[in-house]
Amino acid sequence: MTSELPRAVIFDLDGTLVDTAPDLVGALNDLLAVLDLPPVTLEQGRAASGRGGRSLIQVGHELAGIRLTEAEVDALYPRYLEHYAARVAVDSVVYPGVTALLDHLEAQGWRLGICTNKPLRFAESLMRSLGLRERFGVLLGADSLPVRKPDPRHLVETLTRLGVEPDRGILLGDTETDLKTARAVGIPVALTSFGYAPVPVATYAPDAVFHHYDEAPEMIERLWALGRAWAG
């Protein structure tokens, strides 16, 4: 049974809805090959994938014994994006259970959105390639607003564009950035154990940790009850 007022589940993208590390790291290796530097393994690049292309560039060079300045990273970043644009959805895969969860949430009347620090053009391209874009009423990327996560305005605007009051949302993510964003807005947050956080996500003390999307329907209802308790 749905509430009288709309409610929403907002998802992070990389490491939450989709395992994008294979393509993020693949783009890094394409760049490193052009620079005559050795490739990195998927595991070496996975944790950095959650922090974006600049972090991956730094990791790739550090593993080759090179320390880059911030200006040098910034200079390489557009070249990294060119490589990533060519392979946004080559090896990226939706996590098991996502589609079933979306079906369940839609049937329960939840509104669905994505709030990601991935550049919008890549987020849109990825979700359309995977056949999931139409499942989400709103998708805001890193450059959709002048601010991005963990600034709470990024998440609040996602909810607002869905027609949902900020205190009637739940955030599912995979990193400390997602936790900080939800805490700043004052809504419950659950983190995946299979995403790109550099440490076990329980370290961040989220309201819930989930290991597979099969756990998510019951978990989301618990988080909703928690959010209602906070709202008084």
Q: Torsions phi, psi of 81, nearest 5?
A: -60, -35
Confidence of residue 150 (pLDDT cuts 50, 70, 90): very high
Asked whether residue 21 carries a pLDDT value surpassing 60, the answer given is yes
Tell me the percentage of the chain whose pLDDT exceeds 90: 95
Tokens of 167: 């205190």
Q: Which position has the higher pLDDT, 31 or 3?
A: 31
Average pLDDT score over residue span 203-229: 97
pLDDT beyond 90 at 26: yes
**Alpha helix positions (H), the chain:** 21-34, 42-49, 53-63, 70-85, 98-107, 120-129, 152-161, 176-185, 216-231
Indicate whether 202 pLDDT > 60.
yes
Q: Is 12 a catalytic residue?
A: yes
Does residue 165 register a pLDDT over 90? yes
Q: In terms of C-beta distances under 8 Å and separation of at least 24 residues, what long-range contacts does 152-157 make, across chains too?
A: 152/181, 152/184, 152/185, 154/115, 154/181, 155/10, 155/115, 155/181, 155/182, 155/184, 155/185, 155/187, 156/185
Which residue, among 37, 56, 33, 38, has the nearest Cα to 46 in the 3D structure? 56
Residue 114 three-state SS: strand
Which pLDDT does position 1 carry in this prediction? 41
What is the pLDDT, as a whole number, of residue 181? 98
Supply the pLDDT for residue 30: 98
pLDDT band of residue 2 (cuts 50, 70, 90) is very low
Question: What backbone torsions phi and psi does residue 38 show, to the nearest 5 degrees?
Answer: -70, 150
Span 28-75, pLDDT tens digits: 999 999 999 999 999 999 988 988 899 999 999 999 999 999 999 999
Strand-strand pairing, 93-94 and 18-19 = antiparallel
**Average pLDDT, stretch 80-103?**
97
Q: What is the mean pLDDT of residues 200-216?
A: 98
Contact (Cβ atoms closer than 8 angstroms) between residue 93 and residue 111? no
- What was the pLDDT predicted at 3? 47
Q: Which of 12, 14, 19, 178 is catalytic?
A: 12
